[in-house]
Amino acid sequence: MHWFVLPLAFALLAADARADHDLTPEERASIAAALEAEGCTGGEYEHDDDDDDYEVDDAQCADGSYDFELSKDFKITERDRDD
């Protein structure tokens, strides 16, 4: 039974280390402003604590739905069209 406990403990610690933090209202406003500058709105925002960047899924733009990655200073670093 002990062979199961140690791997389980490491798995739980690793999962906790990858957890993203809840965005502050200021972070949300900065992400929205960056998207609006691209002519896009909405989407689901999250912060990736591992990479210290932000991700937006399913933002709506004039020509379709996109996923974005933004740097920690809210500059768009990647824009991928959802197909």
Q: Going by C-beta distance under 8 Å and a sequence separation of 6 or more, which residues neighbour residue 20? A: 46, 47, 48, 49
Assess whether pLDDT exceeds 70 at residue 18.
no
pTM value surpassing 0.85: no
Give tens-digit pLDDT for 27-72.
999 999 999 999 999 999 999 988 899 999 999 999 999 999 999 9
Residue 50 identity (one-letter amino acid): D
Give pLDDT, residue 7.
52
